[in-house]
Amino acid sequence: MTTYFTPEHEWITIDEAGNATVGITDHAQEALGDVVFVDFPTVGFAIDAGGNAGVVESVKAVSDIYCPVAGTVTEVNDALSTDPTTVNSDPQGAGWFFKLSGVDPSALDGMMDEAAYTTYLTTLP
Amino acid sequence: MPESASPLRCTALHILHQELGGRMVPFAGWSMPVQYPTGVAAEHLHCRAAASLFDVSHMAQLSLRSADGTHAVLAALESVIPADLIGLAPFQQRYGLLTTQSGGIRDDCMVTRRDSDVFMVVNASNAEADIDYLRAALPPSIAITPLADQSLVALQGPLAVSAIRSLDPAVDSLIFMTGEFLSLDGIDCFTTRSGYTGEDGFEISVPTNSAEHLARFLLNIANVAPAGLGARDTLRLEAGLCLHGHDISLDTSPIEAALTWAIPKVRRAGGERAGCYPGAEIIEHQLTSGPTRRRVGLTSDERVPVREGATIVNHHGVQVGRVTSGTVTPTLGRPIAMAYLDTELATASAAAPTKGSVFAEVRGKQVLMAITTMPFVPHKYVRRPSVRTPTTSTSPDSEQS
């Protein structure tokens, strides 16, 4: 499964059935610092592409999470409620945020793959 | 915070900060490390367990002199600070508030009596305004000199004293809120046993051309690690200590801020040197009749951080206050905050500390918070002289001197 990336430093994977998993990138967790809280979207809610999908907070900073694609929230990573530091230790694995269903795979067209995202990071100040 | 277009000032430790991987951010016109690669939480915990080195050179160090001696300087300062400054013994230090005519707080500061001058440290964000104000408010016979060639570092934590002792055993003559010139690796440093973390520790005024050498030397001592402004903020919040511009400001009085202890009896009505400072009438009135709001501590069993600006409501949903500082504390792993609450609630909670509760509004949700006394973690100030093993005393309140 290919992982795609947004300029807002979220990652997304999607299977053939249109089920997607979303989280924040290693670069994002590094910039945030120690994560202390993740506020999830509500399970069952439909979110538009670019819509607000929660908040991730570190000791010093609050950062909004935007939904990279339209879909319906089917699951959130409750394990992060008890140990939010997993976002720091494994942001692109166990530190995932939420899952979506009903995602149109064509929504990923034009999104950055890992190589493009790595290049994108080098353009940032 | 809006940043001005003028370039940021760098401290003498700038190269060292970069070498240590410090994440540099603009702060009060300075480029300062907010954290190192270890991160805010680890730096916070290290300071509580061992010893942490902070660069606080952005704060302004002032020397105040008079041809008539330090007594004349302290007497003049009492006209702008409602503290007992004349009563300072040589090399004793005191926390003070520069008040305004309307009873607000212009800045908070540290004042130390030395042999031939009075040493003052004020906040970076207010430094220029403070200097202008002091020059206008104090008699021209008082010379106010910013110590432009001095840097300031803080070594804080339970192992700070052993680190300093390995350089100059004379450190053992210092107790909390006193100062001395120590020879640290041959560098003459004015060192006070004080700080803003709630831990035992030192603030070291070091000649700028030796500051990097001293910092590297201290960091080479076992158990000493660097800490940034992020950890400094969470540490001072846990210790219940106010940050000017947030928890105290031009719009808050010392009484509202629960800093009444900083105004001793001698400066209150009936005292030998009562009043005679800016805003004295308003502050005296609040002392006798009580303020309409008061600074309190809030804690929660939930995990969501409650930050500055959050509205506080009572059980009927009526607004009763506002948060001025808040974080999730690395020591306790839960949200703590300082807030101004309507006096009725704030006082009731002081009488029954476990009963008062309110809600903080965070993104439309209500977070249940208990009203508590501060500090959130006990102070570890060393108030009695010691020889080898420091006798630490914990204070139940936020009293600093």
- Angstrom distance (rounded) from CA A117 to CA A113: 6
- B38 in contact with A at a CB cutoff of 8 Å? no
Interchain proximity B230–A59, CB inside 8 Å: yes
Interchain proximity A39–B34, CB inside 8 Å: no
Indicate the pTM of the whole model: 0.92
Interchain proximity A59–B330, CB inside 8 Å: yes
- B321 in contact with A at a CB cutoff of 8 Å? no
| Cβ atoms B294, B340 nearer than 8 A | yes
Quote the pLDDT of residue B391. Answer: 47
Quote the pLDDT of residue B353. Answer: 52
Quote the pLDDT of residue B400. Answer: 43
B307 interaction partners in chain A (CB closer than 8 Å): 62
Quote the pLDDT of residue A25. Answer: 97
| Cβ atoms A115, A2 nearer than 8 A | no
Quote the pLDDT of residue B350. Answer: 59
Q: How many CA atoms lie within 13 A of B223 on its CB side?
A: 17
- Angstrom distance (rounded) from CA B151 to CA B359: 43
Interchain proximity B303–A55, CB inside 8 Å: no
Which residues, numbered 56 to 75 in chain A, qualify as contacts with chain B under a Cβ-Cβ cut-off of 8 Å?
57-60, 62
Interchain proximity A33–B39, CB inside 8 Å: yes
Quote the pLDDT of residue B149. Answer: 98
Quote the pLDDT of residue B395. Answer: 46
| Cβ atoms B21, B36 nearer than 8 A | yes
Distance between A105 CA and the closest CA of chain B, angstroms: 32
Secondary element (H or E) of residue B238: helix B229-238
pLDDT under 70: residue ranges of chain B: 1-5, 348-355, 386-401
Interchain proximity B328–A62, CB inside 8 Å: no
Give the pLDDT band of residue A2 (cuts 50, 70, 90). confident
Interface ipTM? 0.84
Quote the pLDDT of residue B399. Answer: 41
Quote the pLDDT of residue B346. Answer: 83
Angle at B339 between CA B334 and CA B344, to 5 degrees: 120
**Strands (DSSP E) along B247-310, which ranges?**
293-299
- Angstrom distance (rounded) from CA B1 to CA A116: 33
3-state helix, strand, coil in chain A (%, to 5): 20, 35, 45
- Angstrom distance (rounded) from CA A34 to CA A37: 9
Torsion of CA B9, B111, B267, B289, to 10 degrees: 40
- Angstrom distance (rounded) from CA B205 to CA B151: 6
Residue B132: count of CB within 10 angstroms of its CB: 11
Interchain proximity B305–A34, CB inside 8 Å: no
Strand partners, B55: B153
Residue B174's region, left for phi above 0, alpha for psi from -120 to 50, else beta, is beta
Q: What percent of chain A has pLDDT over 90?
A: 86
Question: Tens digits of per-residue pLDDT, A96-116?
Answer: 999 999 999 899 888 999 999
- A36 in contact with B at a CB cutoff of 8 Å? yes
Q: What is the mean pLDDT of the segment spanning A77-87?
A: 95
Overall residue count recorded for chain B in this entry:
401
B230 interaction partners in chain A (CB closer than 8 Å): 33, 59-60
Interface mutation vs chain A, best among B237, B362, B365, B366, most A CBs within 10 Å: B362
Q: Which residue has the tokens 């008539």?
A: B68
Quote the pLDDT of residue B56. Answer: 98
- Angstrom distance (rounded) from CA A98 to CA A32: 19
Quote the pLDDT of residue B344. Answer: 86
B234 interaction partners in chain A (CB closer than 8 Å): 59
pLDDT at A85 over 70: yes
Q: Which phi and psi (to 5°) does residue B134 adopt?
A: -65, -40
- Angstrom distance (rounded) from CA A32 to CA B73: 47
Quote the pLDDT of residue B388. Answer: 52
Interchain proximity A62–B307, CB inside 8 Å: yes
